Structure 1
């Protein structure tokens, strides 16, 4: 199957989901380094360090800023695998509207652009479209992560499990606010059939 360049460019926001990640450390140093609220125009602050080997594996998409590429997605999973050449295979699997729908997958290739922190990546789709991937918040035990995007048009909250404790989720939203994000823009992604329709 072949794709025109114009088609791929229009599809880029849809494919951005495969980069989650943010999205996509140790103790408090893995958190965003300031509690002062940043204006939306300020550069996002990444975490101080990401242990790539600990970061690899499956992450559930708990919430995101909705856009057409992930509209009506459920059971969404970001998967990362470190390659021998240092690059990262990235797979995004999901279902549309229903947990009984067939599972679909998109693939991409990622690489670290800041080797001091490992928190800044780029992700490429179809060998044409490259997007930024910033890890802006990360649990010391790698149970959850938050991915940002320059300009704050996109954002993702990921977790190893299908749910996050409400207090943890609310604390993440508050830290996103200090980074210049509007927490009200984030919507939960159903990871369990019982969550469909409960997107607040």
Structure 2
């Protein structure tokens, strides 16, 4: 028996919703406020518990652009498997949830599914951030530069651990830019 696309999408949405609440741990507390204008721009993925799409990512960069309706256009790009591999791009829409200080989003790759996105840590100068999910299945440690100091890296990993994640699943994302600067070619 064939299921309709609508029924399949509905089932997928229910599974995704349940996955976001599957943990016995308390919900992750978002930061109190995110200045969306300051948060926009490019973030290098330093380390992650990756989704299946990015498990072999090199030079991973997430770029946010604030839209006039208050939502956030996201462009994620990376080389899949090595620095010289072809670049892959994934575009999505971050829908900022009301009354969350702009720290909780629903990220929509395709309608009607939205993945939970919580800004769980944000440095005062907006140079480092941790994005998390209540399910503790995925997380992203990101920075405005392709590398962080070893001291900062340990602090960020410990913050992820304190959120209830299994840090043995974290993958460091290799970053190497051929233009010799901290800015990847073509990323603003």
TM over 0.5: yes
The residue aligned with 2:29 is: 45
The residue aligned with 1:120 is: 104
Paired residues of 1:93 and 1:103 also in contact (CA < 8 A): yes
Q: What are the ranges of 5 or more consecutive residues in structure 1 without an aligned counterpart?
A: 14-38, 194-200
- Among residues 168, 182, 186, which one is paired with 1:184 in the alignment? 168
Residues 109-188 of structure 1 correspond to what in structure 2 (within 5 A)? Answer: 109-188=93-172
Structure 1 runs (4+) greater than 4 angstroms displaced? 4-7
For residues 132 and 152 of structure 2, what CA distance do their matches in structure 1 show? 18
Other structure's SS at 2:161 match: helix
For residues 95 and 52 of structure 2, what CA distance do their matches in structure 1 show? 25
For residues 128 and 151 of structure 2, what CA distance do their matches in structure 1 show? 13
Q: Count the aligned residue pairs.
A: 163
Residues 1-80 of structure 1 correspond to what in structure 2 (within 5 A)? Answer: 41-80=25-64
Higher helix share: 1
CA-based RMSD of the aligned residues comes to 2.4
Q: Which has the larger radius of gyration?
A: 2
For residues 55 and 40 of structure 1, what CA distance do their matches in structure 2 show? 30
For residues 116 and 63 of structure 1, what CA distance do their matches in structure 2 show? 25
Which stretch shifts more, 65-74 or 149-158? 65-74
User: Higher relative CO (CA 8 A, sep ≥ 6), structure 1 or 2?
Assistant: 1
Going from structure 1 to structure 2, the CA distance change for 1:181 and 1:40 (only over 3 Å counts) comes to: farther
For residues 93 and 51 of structure 2, what CA distance do their matches in structure 1 show? 22
- Provide TM-score, normalisation by structure 2: 0.78
Other structure's SS at 1:167 match: helix
